[in-house]
Amino acid sequence: MGVQRPPHAERTTLAGPAGALQALIETPAIEGQGLQPVSAFAVVCHPHPLYGGTLDNKVVYTLARALEQLGAPAIRFNFRGVGASAGSYDEGRGETADALAAIAYGRRRWPNAALWLAGFSFGGAVAVRAAGEAGPQRLIAVAPGITTITVTDAAPPACPWLIVQGDADEVVAPEAVRAWADTLSPAPQMRVLPGAGHFFHGRLNELRDVVLAFMASQAARA
Protein backbone atom coordinates (compact mmCIF):
# COMPACT_ATOMS: atom_id res chain seq x y z
CA MET A 1 0.00 0.00 0.00
CA GLY A 2 1.28 3.47 -0.85
CA VAL A 3 2.03 6.24 1.60
CA GLN A 4 -0.80 8.71 2.16
CA ARG A 5 0.28 12.21 1.22
CA PRO A 6 -1.22 15.44 2.54
CA PRO A 7 -4.65 15.82 0.94
CA HIS A 8 -5.24 17.98 -2.10
CA ALA A 9 -6.75 21.21 -0.73
CA GLU A 10 -9.30 23.17 -2.73
CA ARG A 11 -10.57 26.48 -1.39
CA THR A 12 -13.85 27.34 -3.02
CA THR A 13 -17.38 28.63 -2.46
CA LEU A 14 -20.58 26.60 -2.44
CA ALA A 15 -24.07 27.82 -3.21
CA GLY A 16 -25.98 28.20 0.07
CA PRO A 17 -29.56 29.25 0.83
CA ALA A 18 -28.37 32.65 2.15
CA GLY A 19 -25.64 33.12 -0.47
CA ALA A 20 -22.16 31.79 -1.07
CA LEU A 21 -20.57 29.55 1.60
CA GLN A 22 -16.81 29.62 2.03
CA ALA A 23 -15.47 26.06 1.89
CA LEU A 24 -12.33 23.95 2.03
CA ILE A 25 -12.46 20.58 0.28
CA GLU A 26 -9.63 18.15 0.99
CA THR A 27 -9.21 15.05 -1.17
CA PRO A 28 -6.92 12.23 -0.04
CA ALA A 29 -4.09 11.06 -2.28
CA ILE A 30 -1.75 8.05 -2.11
CA GLU A 31 1.91 8.39 -3.08
CA GLY A 32 2.34 7.27 -6.68
CA GLN A 33 -1.39 6.69 -7.15
CA GLY A 34 -2.84 10.20 -7.10
CA LEU A 35 -6.43 10.84 -6.07
CA GLN A 36 -8.40 7.75 -5.12
CA PRO A 37 -11.85 6.51 -6.20
CA VAL A 38 -14.49 8.00 -3.91
CA SER A 39 -16.81 5.58 -2.12
CA ALA A 40 -17.72 8.04 0.66
CA PHE A 41 -17.37 11.76 1.33
CA ALA A 42 -17.51 13.67 4.59
CA VAL A 43 -19.13 16.94 5.61
CA VAL A 44 -17.87 18.38 8.91
CA CYS A 45 -19.71 21.20 10.73
CA HIS A 46 -17.94 23.76 12.93
CA PRO A 47 -18.66 25.26 16.40
CA HIS A 48 -20.82 28.25 17.26
CA PRO A 49 -20.60 31.14 14.77
CA LEU A 50 -21.00 33.78 17.50
CA TYR A 51 -18.13 32.44 19.62
CA GLY A 52 -15.32 32.15 17.11
CA GLY A 53 -16.27 28.87 15.45
CA THR A 54 -14.89 28.40 11.92
CA LEU A 55 -13.97 25.64 9.52
CA ASP A 56 -10.38 25.91 10.82
CA ASN A 57 -11.30 24.83 14.36
CA LYS A 58 -8.84 22.18 15.55
CA VAL A 59 -11.51 19.60 16.47
CA VAL A 60 -13.16 20.06 13.06
CA TYR A 61 -9.72 19.68 11.45
CA THR A 62 -9.12 16.49 13.47
CA LEU A 63 -12.47 15.01 12.40
CA ALA A 64 -11.88 15.86 8.75
CA ARG A 65 -8.37 14.40 8.71
CA ALA A 66 -9.53 11.20 10.44
CA LEU A 67 -12.18 10.62 7.76
CA GLU A 68 -9.73 11.57 5.01
CA GLN A 69 -7.41 8.91 6.43
CA LEU A 70 -10.15 6.42 5.51
CA GLY A 71 -10.17 7.68 1.92
CA ALA A 72 -13.08 10.13 2.05
CA PRO A 73 -12.83 13.65 0.64
CA ALA A 74 -13.92 16.06 3.38
CA ILE A 75 -15.90 19.27 2.98
CA ARG A 76 -15.43 21.85 5.73
CA PHE A 77 -17.39 25.07 5.31
CA ASN A 78 -18.14 28.27 7.17
CA PHE A 79 -21.74 28.72 8.25
CA ARG A 80 -23.60 31.83 7.08
CA GLY A 81 -22.05 35.04 8.41
CA VAL A 82 -18.69 33.41 9.24
CA GLY A 83 -15.54 34.35 7.34
CA ALA A 84 -16.42 34.95 3.70
CA SER A 85 -19.80 33.19 3.90
CA ALA A 86 -22.83 35.36 3.13
CA GLY A 87 -25.76 35.84 5.49
CA SER A 88 -26.05 36.09 9.27
CA TYR A 89 -26.50 33.80 12.25
CA ASP A 90 -29.87 32.02 12.32
CA GLU A 91 -30.00 30.10 15.63
CA GLY A 92 -29.33 26.71 14.05
CA ARG A 93 -32.18 26.73 11.55
CA GLY A 94 -30.34 28.42 8.69
CA GLU A 95 -27.12 26.65 9.64
CA THR A 96 -28.88 23.32 9.21
CA ALA A 97 -29.90 24.47 5.74
CA ASP A 98 -26.26 25.44 5.09
CA ALA A 99 -25.13 21.93 6.07
CA LEU A 100 -27.74 20.41 3.75
CA ALA A 101 -26.44 22.64 0.94
CA ALA A 102 -22.89 21.38 1.51
CA ILE A 103 -24.19 17.82 1.48
CA ALA A 104 -26.09 18.46 -1.76
CA TYR A 105 -22.88 19.79 -3.32
CA GLY A 106 -21.03 16.63 -2.28
CA ARG A 107 -23.73 14.41 -3.72
CA ARG A 108 -23.60 16.22 -7.04
CA ARG A 109 -19.80 15.94 -7.14
CA TRP A 110 -19.61 12.30 -5.99
CA PRO A 111 -23.04 10.92 -6.95
CA ASN A 112 -22.33 7.29 -6.03
CA ALA A 113 -20.60 8.00 -2.71
CA ALA A 114 -22.01 7.49 0.78
CA LEU A 115 -22.24 10.45 3.16
CA TRP A 116 -20.32 10.59 6.43
CA LEU A 117 -21.64 13.53 8.43
CA ALA A 118 -19.80 14.96 11.43
CA GLY A 119 -19.75 18.03 13.62
CA PHE A 120 -18.36 19.51 16.81
CA SER A 121 -20.23 21.45 19.51
CA PHE A 122 -22.84 23.69 17.81
CA GLY A 123 -21.85 21.91 14.58
CA GLY A 124 -22.49 18.55 16.22
CA ALA A 125 -26.04 19.59 17.00
CA VAL A 126 -26.46 20.93 13.45
CA ALA A 127 -25.22 17.59 12.07
CA VAL A 128 -27.80 15.75 14.19
CA ARG A 129 -30.51 18.10 12.94
CA ALA A 130 -29.44 17.63 9.31
CA ALA A 131 -29.11 13.85 9.55
CA GLY A 132 -32.84 13.14 9.58
CA GLU A 133 -33.22 14.76 6.16
CA ALA A 134 -29.79 13.97 4.70
CA GLY A 135 -29.73 10.25 5.56
CA PRO A 136 -25.98 9.81 6.15
CA GLN A 137 -24.39 6.37 6.22
CA ARG A 138 -22.49 7.36 9.40
CA LEU A 139 -22.86 10.27 11.84
CA ILE A 140 -20.32 11.56 14.37
CA ALA A 141 -21.29 14.20 16.92
CA VAL A 142 -18.50 15.48 19.17
CA ALA A 143 -19.67 17.32 22.32
CA PRO A 144 -22.93 18.18 20.50
CA GLY A 145 -24.34 21.56 21.54
CA ILE A 146 -27.81 20.30 22.33
CA THR A 147 -28.17 22.87 25.13
CA THR A 148 -27.54 25.70 22.65
CA ILE A 149 -29.92 24.81 19.81
CA THR A 150 -32.84 22.42 19.81
CA VAL A 151 -32.41 19.04 18.14
CA THR A 152 -35.74 17.52 19.15
CA ASP A 153 -37.70 19.11 16.31
CA ALA A 154 -35.81 17.09 13.68
CA ALA A 155 -36.19 13.41 12.83
CA PRO A 156 -33.72 11.36 14.91
CA PRO A 157 -30.75 9.92 13.01
CA ALA A 158 -31.50 6.46 11.64
CA CYS A 159 -27.91 5.46 10.80
CA PRO A 160 -25.18 4.05 13.06
CA TRP A 161 -23.73 7.01 14.91
CA LEU A 162 -21.28 8.03 17.56
CA ILE A 163 -21.32 10.67 20.30
CA VAL A 164 -17.95 11.59 21.81
CA GLN A 165 -18.17 13.58 25.02
CA GLY A 166 -15.63 14.74 27.58
CA ASP A 167 -16.81 14.31 31.16
CA ALA A 168 -15.11 17.60 32.14
CA ASP A 169 -16.88 19.59 29.41
CA GLU A 170 -17.30 23.16 30.65
CA VAL A 171 -19.57 24.26 27.77
CA VAL A 172 -22.01 21.39 27.12
CA ALA A 173 -23.16 19.58 30.27
CA PRO A 174 -22.12 15.91 29.91
CA GLU A 175 -25.13 14.74 31.93
CA ALA A 176 -27.47 16.59 29.55
CA VAL A 177 -25.91 14.85 26.56
CA ARG A 178 -26.12 11.46 28.23
CA ALA A 179 -29.77 12.00 29.26
CA TRP A 180 -30.65 13.03 25.71
CA ALA A 181 -28.78 10.08 24.19
CA ASP A 182 -30.72 7.71 26.46
CA THR A 183 -33.98 8.85 24.82
CA LEU A 184 -32.87 8.05 21.27
CA SER A 185 -33.80 5.06 19.15
CA PRO A 186 -31.81 3.68 17.48
CA ALA A 187 -29.38 4.48 20.27
CA PRO A 188 -26.04 6.06 19.35
CA GLN A 189 -22.78 4.68 20.59
CA MET A 190 -21.45 7.01 23.28
CA ARG A 191 -17.80 7.32 24.20
CA VAL A 192 -16.94 9.44 27.24
CA LEU A 193 -13.34 10.63 27.56
CA PRO A 194 -12.50 11.01 31.27
CA GLY A 195 -11.06 14.41 32.16
CA ALA A 196 -11.54 15.85 28.65
CA GLY A 197 -12.87 19.41 28.39
CA HIS A 198 -15.02 20.83 25.64
CA PHE A 199 -12.15 21.61 23.27
CA PHE A 200 -10.26 18.34 23.90
CA HIS A 201 -7.02 20.14 24.74
CA GLY A 202 -4.25 17.56 24.67
CA ARG A 203 -6.74 14.84 23.68
CA LEU A 204 -7.10 15.30 19.92
CA ASN A 205 -5.15 12.15 19.05
CA GLU A 206 -7.37 10.19 21.42
CA LEU A 207 -10.46 11.74 19.82
CA ARG A 208 -9.17 10.76 16.37
CA ASP A 209 -8.54 7.18 17.51
CA VAL A 210 -12.07 6.89 18.96
CA VAL A 211 -13.53 8.06 15.63
CA LEU A 212 -11.36 5.66 13.62
CA ALA A 213 -12.28 2.75 15.91
CA PHE A 214 -15.99 3.50 15.47
CA MET A 215 -15.64 3.70 11.69
CA ALA A 216 -13.64 0.45 11.61
CA SER A 217 -16.25 -1.36 13.72
CA GLN A 218 -19.02 -0.21 11.38
CA ALA A 219 -17.05 -1.21 8.29
CA ALA A 220 -16.51 -4.67 9.78
CA ARG A 221 -20.24 -5.08 10.42
CA ALA A 222 -21.09 -3.94 6.92
pLDDT of 6 reads 87
Q: What is the CATH number of domain 4-221?
A: 3.40.50.1820
DSSP β-bridge partners for residue 165: 192
pLDDT of residue 35: 58
Report residues of the chain scoring pLDDT below 70.
Answer: 1-4, 30-36
- 98 φ, ψ to 5°? -60, -45
pTM equals: 0.96
Q: What is the pLDDT of residue 31?
A: 60
What's the pLDDT at 7? 92
